Homo-oligomer: A and B are copies of this chain.
Amino acid sequence: MAGHQLLGLGKRDEFLHGLCTPGVRGDGLSVMLWPQPEPTVEDTMTPAGAAPTQICGLSLDDFLVRMEEFHGHASPGVTMGGFMVDAAWRQLGDAPYLNAAVETVVCLPDAVQMLTPCTLGNGFLQVLDWGKFALTLYDRKSLQGARAWLDVSRLEDYPLVANWYLRRPENQAVEKDEVVRAILAGGHGLVRVRPVRMRAGLKDQDKVPTTACPACGEYHPQRQGTLCPACAGQAYYDL
């Protein structure tokens, strides 16, 4: 298909927020060069009470549009996740080999995928099914990272946010849009962040040997045994 031009690397970050610059290949995948922001620490972020104006370089309006485009609706979890990504990114600073880890499958993966070059499918986002509302951005070569989490002690002045996050019955009658507005008002003041050092990169770099399943003919990792998971009894579907 010579008529189809394959674009150069790094287009995604331009599309996303203009913060990144195109990188070069490494580790068999494109390397996103994360920008070098002003050195910041938690204390220099928007304090509680001061309305934030941006998330990862996006205006709040642009963030809301992108959230509804990607996630499908205005989501308290993705909005909070946006401030967490922003806080971790500011804390981390320069990270040429950016990876991300989220500690829940709910909402936070979309905040990371919307705002950084890290996706589940490209392997730069790892998802831990811990049920914890926290995430870490880190450089997979230096293993320096920044972990952000929602601080329940900071929710006292934001009852709508507290009722949502703590799953109180009072939240059931509240529209999600109202909770989103409350989170936007609280901004970075709801989030805590601190530097961490990764024990190891989470990305599994190894390509494992595969083999054809004798029952269905489809390829699967040899380490699973002869039969693939579906033919071994785990199928989620009937033919």
Contact = CB atoms under 8 A, between A and B. Distances in A.
Contact of A221 (B75, B131, B194): B131
Given A12-B68, A72-B117, A238-B199, A218 B177 contact: no
Interface in A222-239: 224, 228-230, 234-239
A95 interface: no
A237 B136 contact: yes
Q: Which of A64, A65, A108, A122 has the most CB of B within 10 A?
A: A122
A236 to B, nearest CB: 6
A200 B67 CA distance: 29
A32 interface: yes
Nearest to A78: B121
A155 B202 CA distance: 33
A50 interface: no
Contacts of A190: none
Given A12-B70, A145-B237, A236-B101, A64 B6 contact: yes
A119 interface: yes
Q: Which of A218, A230, A234 has the most CB of B within 10 A?
A: A218
Interface residues of A, number: 96
B132 A218 contact: yes
A75 B149 CA distance: 33
A167 B207 contact: yes
A2 to B, nearest CB: 7
A219 B119 contact: no
A197 interface: yes
Interface string A121-164: 11110011011111010000000010101001100000000000
Nearest to A66: B15
Contacts of A145: 237
A173 interface: no
Contacts of A61: 4-5
